[in-house]
Amino acid sequence: MRIILLGAPGSGKGTQAERLAEITGMTHISSGDIFRQAEKEGSELGKLAKSYMEKGLLVPDEVVTKMVLDRIAGNERGFILDGFPRTIEQAESLDKALREDDIDKAVYIKVSQDELLRRLSGRWICRQCEKPYHLTTSPPKVAGRCDVCGGQLYQRPDDTTETAEKRLKVYFEQTAPLVDYYRKKGRLLEMDGERQIEEVSKDLLSKLRW
């Protein structure tokens, strides 16, 4: 299967992608995680991505598209795209690269704006494996430590209120049109993302008929 997770920052794409990958064995490809890893390594890609991410802006299409398409090439386990595509141009490049092996579903996780800001401001992430936690809705078992790998938890610099608001604005201007793009292709699957994490993932698995 080839799945895209669509939704605003904080809608739960990363959370659901990780659970889906664990259950199905599909490869989870997160453009944001790849950029954060590159930044940690101090590579040129990381430095470039940081200059956009810290302002809440999108990294240029040509940089992201090549990076993600390289990861998809030769994938045989199926994949879950989390954070890509994010513009119509990226979606068209993906279509071109996949040719007749089109994606199966573009899952749109819908969450209200107030809830998005609440989630972003309470989010903590594992420095090692990038697993997301939330101070109130999904806290780690041991404060400040990842349940899975024991890594240290940190708050993303782009989760400050000012940058998160900018990211939401960019999302509604540049990414939200993708919902219609995939609806017209007959691939859209809409999900109410304002339910418990477990409930969303059970519903998602059942709608994907897994």
CA distance 185 to 138: 35
Clarify whether 86 is annotated catalytic: yes
When asked if residue 167 is in the footprint of ligand AP5 (CB under 6 A), the reply is: yes
Q: Which of 19, 119, 123, 131 is catalytic?
A: 123
Q: Using the minimum distance from each CB to ligand AP5, give the nearer residue, 137 or 152.
A: 137
Q: Report 85-104 residues binding ligand AP5 (CB under 6 A).
A: 86, 90
CA distance 34 to 82: 11
Q: How many residues of this chain bind ligand AP5 (CB under 6 A)? A: 34
Q: Which of 2, 13, 36, 131 is catalytic?
A: 13
Clarify whether 156 is annotated catalytic: yes
When asked if residue 7 is in the footprint of ligand AP5 (CB under 6 A), the reply is: yes
* Closest to 79 (Cα-Cα) out of 18, 12, 1, 19: 1
> Exposed (0-12), middle (13-18) or buried (19+): which is 78, by Cβ within 10 Å?
middle
Chain centroid to Cα 14, Å, comes to 5
Q: Which of 145, 156, 166, 187 is catalytic?
A: 156
- Within a 10 A sphere around the Cβ of 43, how many other Cβ atoms? 12
Q: Using the minimum distance from each CB to ligand AP5, give the nearer residue, 88 or 208.
A: 88
Q: Residue 176 is encoded by which pair of tokens? A: 């939200």
- Within a 10 A sphere around the Cβ of 163, how many other Cβ atoms? 19
Q: Which one of 96-104, 139-147, 180-188, 191-199 is the stretch in contact with ligand AP5 (CB under 6 A)?
A: 191-199
Q: Using the minimum distance from each CB to ligand AP5, give the nearer residue, 137 or 161.
A: 137
CA distance 66 to 146: 31
Clarify whether 202 is annotated catalytic: no
Clarify whether 167 is annotated catalytic: yes
CB of 195 to ligand AP5, least distance (A): 6
The residue within the footprint of ligand AP5, chosen from 2, 4, 6, 11 (CB under 6 A), is 11
Q: Report 42-61 residues binding ligand AP5 (CB under 6 A).
A: 52-53, 56-59
Q: Using the minimum distance from each CB to ligand AP5, give the nearer residue, 109 or 188.
A: 109
- Within a 10 A sphere around the Cβ of 51, how many other Cβ atoms? 11
Which residues are within 8 A (CB) of 3 and not within 5 positions of it... i.e. 6 or more apart?
A: 20, 26, 78, 79, 80, 81, 103, 104, 105, 106, 107, 208
Residues that bind ligand AP5 (CB under 6 A): 7, 9-15, 31-32, 35, 52-53, 56-59, 64, 83-84, 86, 90, 119, 123, 132-134, 137-138, 167, 193, 195, 197, 200
